[in-house]
Amino acid sequence: MQTKPFRIGTRGSPLALAQAHETRARLMAAHGQPEDMFEIVVLSTKGDRITDRSLALVGGKGLFTEEIEAQLSSGELDFAVHSSKDMPTRLPEGLHLSAFLPREDVRDAFIGRTAPRLAELPHGAVVGSSSLRRQALIRRLRPDLEVVIFRGQVETRLRKLEEGQADATLLAFAGLKRLGMDAVPTELLDPEAFPPAPAQGAICIESRIGDRRMDDLLAAVDHAPTRHAVSCERGFLATLDGSCRTPIAGYAVIDGERIRFRGMILTPDGAHHHDIETEGRIAEAAALGAQAGLAIRRKAGTQFFETWS
């Protein structure tokens, strides 16, 4: 019987803490355990400390997980809670994504200061975003706009917007909802025209491979539809590029035993893009995503990908 608290690793941002608290609450309910059996351990990561440069220039998604995964591998943590879209497609040896919580809304939220909708921004307006995918999609839809890098936590980006550093910004609606900021967006973007990042809106739990005790504990909160959808999207991402250097979008929808996937790749300037749609059985979700990645590579041709280097 467990006598000491399970140690849950997380970043210290308000959103990361909200996700860790949601995970703890679900585990408490599933196992009938008191709160003091789940200790939330806050760790600072390089991604949190470097806020003045694009992730693509300083190391990619792993900057948000490196310190946490080191303590997870050493046994100092029992498991860790992450935003799935922040996870590299290649994890450190001995670690895996062992559970997924039910997914939130996948849409991107537009927050306009000078206009309530992306289409209504005046010519030459400034939009702040740190995501290469969002930057490329904005430029695809509105090549007349100026896009600048906006890094930092949700609250930091909203403060920059309020200070007038940009006319608008975009954030994941899922994160705003988890922070109780449902009313902040001035427009929710249609995922058909503005597709989300792979795994957007999904909370994942990372633990050690072969740790049966943790696997059994976490299985009680694992949401199979989210697992299948994210596996498909990460399969697509892994085939193309699992870092923050490329504008890649993709999302999967579960319908009974079937899964439908749509993916998109863009040049950073948004001038060129390719998309792909496919469907199959949920049992083949990861393979379906990987096959879609290979197919869109062939469709785009090698010259398209040279623009990413």
For residue range 123-177, list pLDDT tens digits in order. 999 999 989 999 999 999 999 999 999 878 899 999 999 999 999 999 999 999 9
Q: Please state the pTM of the whole predicted model.
A: 0.91
Residue 105: predicted pLDDT: 97
Strand-pairing partners, residue 278, are 261
Task: Give the domain 1-101+202-222 fold.
Answer: D-Maltodextrin-Binding Protein; domain 2 (3.40.190)
Q: Where in the chain is the domain with CATH 3.40.190.10?
A: 1-101+202-222, 108-188
Q: Where in the chain is the domain with CATH 3.30.160.40?
A: 223-309
Indicate which residues carry an active-site annotation: 86
CATH architecture of 223-309: 2-Layer Sandwich (3.30)
Per-position pLDDT tens, the chain of length 309: 567 899 999 999 999 999 999 999 999 999 999 999 999 999 976 555 555 555 554 455 556 688 999 999 999 999 999 999 989 999 999 999 999 999 999 999 999 999 999 999 999 999 999 899 999 999 999 999 999 998 788 999 999 999 999 999 999 999 999 999 999 999 999 999 999 999 999 999 999 999 999 999 999 999 999 999 999 999 999 998 755 567 999 999 999 999 999 999 999 999 999 999 999 999 999 999 999 999 999 998 877 877 555
Residue 65: predicted pLDDT: 87
The CATH code of domain 108-188 reads 3.40.190.10
